[in-house]
Chain A
Amino acid sequence: MRQIIAMFKKELSITFSSPIFYAAAFIFLVVSGYFFYTNTAYFSVLCFQAGTNPLLSEKLNLSDMVIEPFFGDLSVILLLMLPLITMRMYAEEKKVGTIELLFTYPISDVAVLTGKFCATMLVLVTMLAGTIPYMIILEVFGNLEWGMIISGYLGIILLGGSFITLGIFTSSLTENQIVAAVLSFGALLLFWMFGWTKAISGPALGRVLEYISIIKHLDPFTRGLIDTRAIVFYVLFMLFWLFLTLRFLNSRYWRS
């Protein structure tokens, strides 16, 4: 446990001293702020129109029209930003040669991976924490359902964790950070789009593709539902990529 904490702290120190993190976090906050503004502005325009249209006013709901789409927007931004955060995880260690230190220190591959994963999750949570003021602003002017917001953030954290584990895996494959980021983004995009092909696939294959579509499982969370099946999917997805990363790192023993 002590070694995991040491690894965790080391990763945090390096991430928070990296310009890539600050660039990614800055863009994340700017773009998410823009999406939040447009959602809120559109909602306020509809509210004005509802003054003359009682039927419309019944359908207006801050949660459905601002919060739910906002979490959807966050997921798109994370799809673009997280590969930039995860790309250096192992690729940089390989490039600089510090992987030689990690593989010869008395620390297991599992502890190294766990430390890296936990540190990146904290980075994700830190970035997401930057969006909480948006919710506080809404709370000042409206009436928010905080349960829905909490479940939405939980869903985003699970989705982000899935992005992170796949990103760490691609980073373990290469010593080139750009290649790691491109592989990660490409693979995540595929998992994102699997659900779109449901209509043109057969019923059985369509159901499978829809199930492995990474974004589909976010829907219940953004609607305020904590769905155990979605949690299981994301946890299994993360464990799968962490397991593959470990297997790939271990392959140095049998590949020789």
Chain B
Amino acid sequence: MTFFEFIKTGRPMIVAEELTKYYGLKPAVQDVSFRVNRGEIVGFLGPNGAGKTTILRTLTCYMPPTSGKILIDELDTRTQSLEVRKRIGFLPENVPLYHDLSVNRFLVFACSVKGFKGRKLEDEINRVVGVCGLSEHRSRLIRHLSKGLKQRVGLAQALLNDPPILILDEPTIGLDPAQIIEIRELIKNLGGERTVLLSSHILPEVSQVCQRVIIINQGRIIAEDTPTSLTKQIQKQKGLQTSVYVEGPTDDVKRKLSSIQGVLNVGVSEKKGEFIVESISDENIRPMIARAIVESNWRLREMRSIDLSLEEVFIHLITEENKDIEL
């Protein structure tokens, strides 16, 4: 990373330190600490009720944490709430909107509250309406819009004032598949200079959109990394699976593959000629498999490692965490 890149991306835009939030006597979030740098798109991943919305609400000054500290662009959310709010565009869960207002009237209100007036207000509304594809719907009452369009209006209000930080709570919940793809593309395009923090329990969404993932369960962070690194880490714990297509006698192939050092188990797939080799590590295992097959004069048709999906990583982590809590 060059010095310029460090200056550009190195400063954390969101810092949460030992964040704890209680609802009554029940802890919703406990000792959560994380950082999000400028320009990053980070996903909060967790099952329903894990504490994602609570964390996002404390970040956006909707409510203060019970303890801990939050810095947004180096400003404290407790003491500099209004300044913090100027830097954040927030799309709350379920997209609350004023249904009796037209799209334009609502955006004029939101834009005025964010400090615009006159010509600049008009230009800013035109900009977000263009970005969110709402030009044809400006005069329609919000109550008459489809769910996807309402979501776009929610995004449009969050984008007003071009905030350096975007916080989106479940931005694609309740949308149909086509609308989900549209909103994901929109979010991807919003990245770049902007810091985006989004919560979701839809795993493909996070793996497609986010550069980094924070997995949260029962109010605590249980993993934090890029989707690829997380997959690798879990693969190391669970072991590697390699799919090998070989033309040769099934029992002999199975026996030969099982005899390779590091191989834990060899399974025969339902697909003709496919063997699933489970090994402790991916180091040198594929060359060793290839050598063993060639030395036995069988034909190797295909060999590839089976990567864990983020979904499998997520389920593994959540299951392990729940086991630990039960113990």
Contact = CB atoms under 8 A, between A and B. Distances in A.
B114 A105 contact: yes
B101 A13 contact: yes
Interface string A11-41: 0011001100000000000000000000000
A9 B105 CA distance: 10
B264 interface: no
A5 B108 CA distance: 12
A9 B109 contact: yes
A96 B101 contact: no
Nearest to A105: B113
Contacts of A106: 82-83, 85-86, 113-115
Contacts of B236: none
Nearest to A16: B100
A104 B101 contact: no
A100 interface: yes
A141 interface: no
A14 B22 CA distance: 35
B90 interface: yes
B99 interface: yes
Contacts of A17: 100-101
A103 B56 CA distance: 13
B26 to A, nearest CB: 12
A2 B85 contact: no
A interface SS class: helix
A237 B85 CA distance: 33
A3 interface: yes
B207 interface: no
B150 to A, nearest CB: 12
Interface extent on A, as a size class?
20 to 34
Contact of B100 (A13, A100, A253): A13
B65 interface: yes
Interface string A59-77: 0000000000000000000
Given A100-B62, A100-B92, A108-B82, A2 B112 contact: yes
Contacts of B85: 104-106
A70 B157 CA distance: 47
Contacts of B99: 96
Given A2-B117, A3-B112, A101-B157, A18 B100 contact: yes
B212 interface: no
A105 B82 CA distance: 8
A6 interface: yes
Contacts of B21: 256
Interface string B88-130: 1010101011111100010011101111010000000000000
A98 interface: yes
Contacts of A136: none
B62 A104 contact: yes
B173 interface: no
A106 B114 CA distance: 6
B322 to A, nearest CB: 27
B63 interface: yes
A82 interface: no
B92 A6 contact: no
Contacts of A97: 92, 94, 96
B217 interface: no
B19 to A, nearest CB: 12
A5 B116 CA distance: 12
Contacts of A103: 61-63
Nearest to B86: A106
A152 B129 CA distance: 49
A156 to B, nearest CB: 28
B101 A14 contact: yes
Contacts of A107: 82, 113
Contact of B90 (A18, A104, A256): A104
B218 interface: no
Given A2-B112, A10-B98, A104 B82 contact: no
In order of increasing CB-CB distance, the 5 nearest A-B pairs are: A97-B96, A6-B112, A106-B85, A10-B109, A106-B86
5 contacts: A3-B113, A5-B112, A97-B92, A100-B90, A104-B60
Given A106-B85, A108-B82, 11 more contacts: A2-B112, A6-B112, A6-B113, A10-B101, A10-B109, A14-B100, A100-B90, A101-B90, A104-B62, A256-B21, A256-B66
